[in-house]
Amino acid sequence: MVLDYETPVDRIASGQSRARQIDTRSLAQGTCLVLIEAAGFAMNIVLVVLGLPLFAFLFLAGWDLGLLFAQLGNLADHYRLAEPVARHLFSQDLKVAFLFAAGCYALLRLPAFLRRLERRLAEGDRRHD
């Protein structure tokens, strides 16, 4: 069996180039769709991760806002009076917890997001043909 191959240099030398026209309009539309969907996905994750602690604390406070704000005031007083090292460690722990929660939630939602994005991109291809 003979191995027959053609390199890009061979194509240039023979004058045969496979120059395809790039459809810039559909490329731009697809890029915009992906960016809009990704921004919505990211904002959804951030809002859910930031809203879950509020929901949990309201649930624990029995849906009483006065009690919730009293506990938040107590937490703020303890934070203000804490040592600088303890404050720094507490804020670092909060950052790590937020990033961990956001990452886990993103991993849970990522397969559905990719399926929806693939479906929307395929819809666009059929609609514009």
Helix, strand, coil proportions of the chain in percent (round to 5)?
A: 80, 0, 20
For residues 84-114, b (16+ Cβ closer than 10 Å) or e, as one string?
A: eeeeeeeeeeeeeeeeebbeebbeeeeeebe
Whole-number Å distance between alpha carbons of 38 and 121: 13
More confident residue, 56 or 12: 56
Whole-number Å distance between alpha carbons of 106 and 41: 8
- Average pLDDT score, the chain: 87
Residue written as token pair 């929307």: 120
pLDDT tier at 10, thresholds 50, 70, 90: confident
Whole-number Å distance between alpha carbons of 51 and 36: 22
Q: Is the pLDDT of residue 18 over 90?
A: no
Per-residue pLDDT tens over the stretch 64-119:
999 989 988 999 999 999 999 999 999 999 999 999 999 999 999 999 999 999 99
Q: Is the pLDDT of residue 54 over 60?
A: yes
pTM recorded for the entire structure: 0.68
| pLDDT value, residue 95 | 95
**Structure tokens given for 127:** 């609609």
Angle between helices 84-127 and 24-60 (to 10 degrees): 140
Q: Is the pLDDT of residue 123 over 90?
A: no
Q: Using a CB cutoff of 8 Å and minimum separation of 24, what contacts does 103-106 make?
A: 105/45, 105/48, 105/49, 106/41, 106/45
